[in-house]
Amino acid sequence: MTSTVGPPPYYENRGFQPENYSARPPAGANPYPPYFSTNAPSVPTYVPRVSTYQSTSPVAPSSGRTCSSGVKKTMIIIISILIVICCAVGAFFIWYFVENHCLGSLIECGSSGVCVSPSDWCDGVTNCPNGEDENRCVRLFGPNFILEVYSPVSKAWYPVCQDDWTDDFGKIACKDMGYNVDTYYYSQGVAAEVSFKSFMKLNTSAGNTDLYKRLHNSNSCASGNVVSLRCIKCGLPTKSTAIMNRIVGGSTAVLGQWPWQLSLHVQGTHVCGGSIITREWLVTAAHCVEGQLSDPYIWRVYAGIVSQSDIILRAGYRVQQIISHPDYDTDTKDNDVALMKLETPLSFTDNVQPVCLPNPGMMFEPNQQCWISGWGAEYQGGKTSTTLNYVMVPLIERSRCNSIYIYNGMILPTMICAGYLEGGIDSCQGDSGGPLVTNKNSVWWLVGDTSWGTGCATPNRPGVYGNMTVFTDWIYKNMQANR
């Protein structure tokens, strides 16, 4: 017999008491929009208005006058066609120059319309209004933090050969990604992968000049090693993680077990979770800071605690700035991520440490073991917990999570599912914005931030998290632009 019982009420994992949301309908026939919207302006359609010739002369029944009238009509038609063609050509050129600000090989600076020559890109001199030509030149790739430098000429990323590389250059590269020099961890050489065909090498005879002017493309690397760069000591908890199968269905954490976990408060009440990524910056969910909650001055951030009673003797950290993802959609929870910048930097201790942002090139597989943590409710409709809980949840393949009997197309590329289809273990109200992490290469990586779900620990309704691999580039750009 077919059940007519609908799904449990939809929730956002806020720390406030849950509201009675109705389950949302499927997102539509195409649940997989492109990662990046081009925001291309539509081509204007011009409808030419042609003034019709009005004769004021009396009409004579003359064959010549009739012939002249026919000629005039023909001329009007020809002129109208020419005007339509001119308008169409004009519309094309308007579209072309709107869509193609930069002609030839020039590179556009973001959306400013300023065009820069490839030779000016990554040369140490800021030519773009917002500095895009100098702050998008380096990245860390893969689980081994391989330093790569962008070549605007070939429009490709290349690993940096370790030959003649020093920590001073490493600090420059880290600064260009938005990190402070005081968190610099190390640069070291690791064996180059066989797939590397070309490298960026330092030109030792270049003299005392900018880092990027020293680098040149080469097909060889004498040492055979490429630079592994760590800009911050992240993903290294001071306590081992005991895997227990008892958040809903979770276990009580001990101090230092999840040192990047934060409790975000408004007026003395835990509202959401967050994750430390640097001394000044933390990641949370965009839906945590909507509306009136977008005011940074109402928030207090608490780090290095496992019990909410621990905040009694602490003042908490004030928030200076909140940056929500510009493409966040309050209805679908697309791009549900936000950054908070603290007024005063965190003091790192054994119990307060950052988690690592996933690097480009990292893939997290279905069924991969991840952990969620937070002070969320321990059952649907319950109050937030006074103690920090955690539990292991496996990742679920997006296509499976989008199946008709689970979320029916609501899981977008900016989201990732994790949990158990049989239910019983899940995140819940109050866990929002908190971390979904995994351990790879003995490092803890931030896979996602707790976003939404239907019910708590309900069968076929696993937790949904912001897909951090999609957001890292946006995070680095904002860290660099708001230092």
Of 364, 354, 393, nearest in space to 142 by CA: 364
Residue 426's pLDDT is what?
A: 84
Residue identified by tokens 């835990």 is 270
- Angle ∠(249,254,259) on CA atoms, nearest 5: 105
Which residues, in sequence order, are CB contacts of 67 under 8 Å at separation 6+? none
* Superfamily holding 237-481: Trypsin-like serine proteases (2.40.10.10)
Do residues 444 and 24 touch, judged by C-beta distance below 8 A? no
Structure-token pair, residue 390: 């955690």
Q: What is the DSSP string of 282-327?
A: EEE-GGGG-GGGG-GGGEEEEES-SBGGGGGG---EEEEEEEE-TT
**Considering 336, 426, 431, 449, which one is annotated as catalytic?**
336
Domain at 115-230, CATH from 2.30.40.10, 3.30.420.40, 3.10.250.10, 3.40.50.300: 3.10.250.10
Q: How far apart are CA 17 and CA 382, in angstroms?
A: 8
Is 216 among the catalytic positions?
no
CA distances from 340 to 258, 352, 465 (A): 19, 17, 18
Which residues, in sequence order, are CB contacts of 253 under 8 Å at separation 6+? 261, 306, 373, 387, 388, 389, 390
Q: Do domains 115-230 and 237-481 have the same CATH topology?
A: no
Could you tell me how many residues make up the chain?
483
> How deeply is 217 buried, as exposed, middle or buried, from its count of CB atoms within 10 A (0-12, 13-18, 19+)?
middle
Q: What is the pTM of this model?
A: 0.75
DSSP-assigned beta bridge partners for residue 339: 283, 323
Question: Cα-Cα-Cα-Cα dihedral of 182, 139, 238, 348, to 10°?
Answer: 30
3-state secondary structure of 213: helix
Q: How far apart are CA 176 and CA 103, in angstroms?
A: 28
Structure-token pair, residue 381: 């409709």
Is 270 among the catalytic positions?
no
* Domain ranges (residues) in the chain: 115-230, 237-481
Do residues 376 and 388 touch, judged by C-beta distance below 8 A? no
Do residues 147 and 137 touch, judged by C-beta distance below 8 A? no
Structure-token pair, residue 10: 């939809």
**Considering 265, 270, 287, 325, which one is annotated as catalytic?**
287
Residue 48's pLDDT is what?
A: 30
Residue 234's pLDDT is what?
A: 97
Residue 380's pLDDT is what?
A: 82
Residue 144's pLDDT is what?
A: 94
Q: What's 206's DSSP letter?
A: G
Residue 73's pLDDT is what?
A: 77
- Per-position pLDDT tens, the chain of length 483: 433 333 433 444 444 333 333 333 344 433 333 332 333 333 232 223 233 333 344 433 333 334 466 777 788 888 878 888 877 776 665 554 444 457 655 777 766 678 887 777 676 677 888 777 766 688 999 999 999 998 877 778 999 999 999 999 999 999 988 899 999 999 999 999 888 889 999 987 877 667 887 888 899 999 999 999 999 999 987 666 544 333 777 788 999 999 999 999 999 999 999 999 999 999 999 999 999 999 999 999 999 999 999 888 788 999 999 999 999 999 999 999 999 999 999 999 999 999 999 999 998 999 999 999 999 988 887 888 999 999 999 999 999 999 999 999 999 999 999 999 998 888 988 899 999 999 999 999 999 999 999 888 999 999 999 999 999 989 998 998 887
Residue 101's pLDDT is what?
A: 55
Residue 213's pLDDT is what?
A: 79
Q: How far apart are CA 260 and CA 272, in angstroms?
A: 14
**Considering 151, 263, 275, 432, which one is annotated as catalytic?**
432
Residue 273's pLDDT is what?
A: 96
Q: How far apart are CA 40 and CA 418, in angstroms?
A: 34
Q: How far apart are CA 258 and CA 19, in angstroms?
A: 29
Residue 53's pLDDT is what?
A: 34
For residue 334, count other CB atoms closer than 10 A to its CB.
Answer: 19
Q: What's 123's DSSP letter?
A: S
For residue 76, count other CB atoms closer than 10 A to its CB.
Answer: 14
Do residues 198 and 159 touch, judged by C-beta distance below 8 A? no
Phi, psi of 194 (to 5 degrees): -60, -30
Is 336 among the catalytic positions?
yes
For residue 237, count other CB atoms closer than 10 A to its CB.
Answer: 18
Q: What's 398's DSSP letter?
A: H
